[in-house]
């Protein structure tokens, strides 16, 4: 696979798949610029070398064609400010108007196309739609790692219409950092898995059991393990149909000599509410009517010690309902432990999605080794799956 550094973009029109699927508030203002900021180095390289950039992305999940709230025009003010260039916008992504504006683009100019998902053909990976997109540039750059696991028109199929194609800096860094953790991790290697469901993480957990020294499990998924081991988990989240799966993962970890560490205690609440009554209790003995919403102080202490003794850390998923301030202590404590280990020379990769949001919201984004922009794509890559968006650049 060639990267952006293998090309000079002088007088080239680069068609770039970026990931500007950013959160917007009720006033349609961007609330988290992480993905926009991440794209800037790739865009700067292209325009600084005398090329022009035509950007395509999706935003949200529009159901039936164009919807104003999912228009990429809302991203323009933030993108123009971060890039230091007045970004142009076209209210379509294919057709005469888009082709005309792309053609007229001068050196150093940037054009943002309208949301590619306003066409159903995008997610279907439609070839004719991809060919229409390909008419807008003469070199294809994919820098949207977050959608690399989708075989969509703009992320995968469009690449086949280009002789020159490459990955941008985000895609390159994502693949390098993920490979470093999966293939070349310094020991001890600790994976921290959180979030609500085991079923979402089963493949990655099974693959990691062949690679890690420690597997820490927190978040809602831990209660399925405790119930599987005969514990009373009260009203905590549980996947009844995955109790046998939890038991088999415990057995596999033992068989492979992996230290599978579950939280010893939880902060429990009498309802799913930030203002609920709270208590701390052992995870084998949560009373009926109470639910675990965060890891407890003993779990924080044990998990932090394991993190401190690690050389490589992969973190994917929060330790509790961190969106509620009263149940964010566990996630915050683990974030601080990961930062401390990184400062002391450890390597830390933060999986996308909620873990990335937690790290960034705490202001620790620049104090860990790498924060991934791709939740699902990172997991699939680590599960050993071929990512269509990556494979398309290698053909």
List residues with catalytic annotation: 35, 197, 353, 376
3-class SS at 30?
strand
Q: How far apart are CA 46 and CA 40, in angstroms?
A: 10
Helices (H), the chain: 34-48, 76-83, 96-103, 120-124, 127-134, 169-183, 202-208, 222-228, 243-256, 297-308, 329-343, 354-361, 375-382, 388-394
Q: How far apart are CA 327 and CA 142, in angstroms?
A: 38
Q: How far apart are CA 336 and CA 339, in angstroms?
A: 5
Q: What is the DSSP letter of 3?
A: B
**What burial class does residue 302 get, using C-beta atoms within 10 Å of its C-beta: 0-12 exposed, 13-18 middle, 19+ buried?**
middle
At residue 31, φ and ψ (nearest 5 deg) are -105, -15
Q: How far apart are CA 4 and CA 126, in angstroms?
A: 26
Q: Are 350 and 192 in contact (CB under 8 A)?
A: no
Q: Which long-range contacts (CB under 8 A, 24 or more apart) does 239-248 make?
A: 239/197, 239/198, 239/199, 242/197, 242/198, 242/199, 245/198, 245/199, 245/202, 246/198
Strand partners, 16: 55, 141
Report how far apart, in Å, the C-alpha atoms of 3 and of each of 55, 135, 161, 176 are: 17, 21, 17, 12
In the sheet where 214-217 sits, what is the strand order?
259-261, 214-217, 189-193, 312-316, 347-350, 370-371
Strand partners, 110: 53
Q: How far apart are CA 345 and CA 244, in angstroms?
A: 39
Question: Residues for the chain: how many in total?
Answer: 395
């Amino acid at each position: 696979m060639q990267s952006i550094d293998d090309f000079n973009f002088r007088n080239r029109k680069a068609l770039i798949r970026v990931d500007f699927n950013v959160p917007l508030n009720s006033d349609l203002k961007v609330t988290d610029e992480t993905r926009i900021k991440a794209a800037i180095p790739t865009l700067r390289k292209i325009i600084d070398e005398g090329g022009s950039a035509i950007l395509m992305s999706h935003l949200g999940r529009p159901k039936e064609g164009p919807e104003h709230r999912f228009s990429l025009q809302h991203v323009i003010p933030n993108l123009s400010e971060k890039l230091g260039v007045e970004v142009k916008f076209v209210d379509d992504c294919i057709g005469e108007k888009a082709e005309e504006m792309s053609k007229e683009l001068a050196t150093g100019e940037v054009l943002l196309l309208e949301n590619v998902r306003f066409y159903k053909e995008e997610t279907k990976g439609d070839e004719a739609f991809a060919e229409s997109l390909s008419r807008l540039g003469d070199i294809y750059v994919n820098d949207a790692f977050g959608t690399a696991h989708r075989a969509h028109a703009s992320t995968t199929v469009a690449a086949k219409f280009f002789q020159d194609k490459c990955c941008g800096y985000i895609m390159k860094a994502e693949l390098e950092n993920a490979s470093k953790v999966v293939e070349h991790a310094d020991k001890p290697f600790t994976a921290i898995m959180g979030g609500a469901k085991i079923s979402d993480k089963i493949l990655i957990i099974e693959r990691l059991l062949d690679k890690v020294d420690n597997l820490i499990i927190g978040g809602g998924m831990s209660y399925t393990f405790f119930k599987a081991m005969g514990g009373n988990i009260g009203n905590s989240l549980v996947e009844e149909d995955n109790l046998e799966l939890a038991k088999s993962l415990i057995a596999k970890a033992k068989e492979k000599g992996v230290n599978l560490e579950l939280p010893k205690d939880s902060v429990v609440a009498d309802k799913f509410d930030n203002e609920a009554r709270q208590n701390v209790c052992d995870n084998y003995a949560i009373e009926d009517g109470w639910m675990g919403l965060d890891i407890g102080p003993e779990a924080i202490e044990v998990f932090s010690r394991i993190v401190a003794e690690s050389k490589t850390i992969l973190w994917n998923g929060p330790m509790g309902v961190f969106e509620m301030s009263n149940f964010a202590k566990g996630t915050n404590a683990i974030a601080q432990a990961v930062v401390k280990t990184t400062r002391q020379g450890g390597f830390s990769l933060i999986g996308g999605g909620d873990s990335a949001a937690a790290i960034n919201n705490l202001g620790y984004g620049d104090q860990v080794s790498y924060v991934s922009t791709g939740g699902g794509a990172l997991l699939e890559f680590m599960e050993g799956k071929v990512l269509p968006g990556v494979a398309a650049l290698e053909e």
